[in-house]
Amino acid sequence: MNRKYRKTVIAGNWKMNKLPSEIRNFAEEFRTLIPRAKWCDIVVCTPAVMIPAAVRAFKEGKVAVGGQDMSAHPSGAYTGEVAGAQLVDAGAKYVIIGHSERRQYHGETDEMVNAKVLAALGSKLIPIVCVGESLETRELELTLDLVTYQVKRALSGVAPEQMRKVIIAYEPIWAIGTGKTATAEQAGEVCTAIRAVVRAVYGARIARSVTIQYGGSMNAANAEELLAQPDIDGGLIGGASLKPEELAKIVLAANQE
Ligand code: 13P
């Protein structure tokens, strides 16, 4: 983390979990666990249909709500899709773009991810842009090449003034939902490389202001060590974010001096 130059953002990705009553219970318990003074932003990304319930439940806490995907199109004949303006109307401030589960199970390409990033920014949503390698890519020692490529492609056409609003999440696919976390050094190395890509394209001032998260089996036990890396400015947390006490502990880890 480096709070002098950029925000620390702890975001839960609830994936396809929780009904409104469960969201209310979570929010009530979570509120009691989080101290008033905090130095990080907290976000919970829910299925689109649950956004209004989450916004209501978290109204009194300082928890923002995000979507998990959106259409690259502003409106029209795209059955089943959700537009950025609709997420905003529902109360979302953030949206996850290009999660590996979207890339893997829904055929999202780098080109589609780029179109969605531009659409999210156009809708005034903060995109949390996910990149990350498979185990095979890591074993071939191609991680930095692949992630560099993914970041460049995802950000193609993003104007410098928009770049300050973008969050990048490094999520190694082999660490998602597996209980296998990248070591702090592995995660830190890739996040530093991601900042270098942003620096090469947008310059040092913008690069140092961009929040870069780590995601992949992040939990209360490993958060502090991961967040101690200078280029890891937060987390995108799946399983552990479903439990209020776990997410609260990660937030507390992000609040260490
Ligand atoms: P886990 O924290 O469950 O590994 O999920 C990470 C993730 O995919 C967050 O987007």
Q: For residue 176, report the distance from its CA to the centre of ligand 1, in Å.
A: 5
Can you give the pLDDT at residue 179? Answer: 83
Structure tokens at 125: 């949503």
Q: Atom 7 in ligand 1: which residue has the minimum CA distance? A: 238
Tell me the DSSP string of the chain.
Answer: --TTTS-EEEEEE--S---HHHHHHHHHHHHHHS-S--SEEEEEE--GGGHHHHHHHTTTTTEEEEES---SSSSSS-TT---HHHHHHHT--EEEES-HHHHHHS---HHHHHHHHHHHHHTT-EEEEEE---HHHHHTT-HHHHHHHHHHHHTTT--HHHHTT-EEEE--GGGTTSS-PPPHHHHHHHHHHHHHHHHHHH-HHHHHH-EEEE-SS--TTTHHHHHTSTT--EEEESGGGGSHHHHHHHHHHHT--
Cβ of 217 closer than 6 Å to ligand 1, yes or no, is yes
Can you read off the two tokens belonging to residue 94? 């953030």
The whole-number pLDDT of residue 36 equals 65
Q: Which residues are catalytic?
A: 99, 171
Separation of alpha carbons 130 and 182, rounded Å: 16
Q: Which residue has a Cα nearest atom 5 of ligand 1?
A: 238
CA distances from 135 to 102, 146, 180, 216 (A): 17, 12, 11, 13
Radius of gyration of the chain (CA): 17
d(CA 59, CA 199) in angstroms, rounded, equals 36
Mean pLDDT of the chain: 96
Nearest-atom number in ligand 1 for the CA of 177 is 4
* pLDDT value for 37: 56
User: In terms of pTM, does the model score above 0.95?
Assistant: yes
Distance CA 253, CA 257 (A): 9
Gap from CA of 69 to ligand 1 centroid (Å): 15
Task: Enumerate residue ranges in the chain where pLDDT < 50.
Answer: none
End-to-end Cα spacing for the chain: 10
pLDDT, position 223: 97
Closest atom, ligand 1, to C-alpha of 240: 2
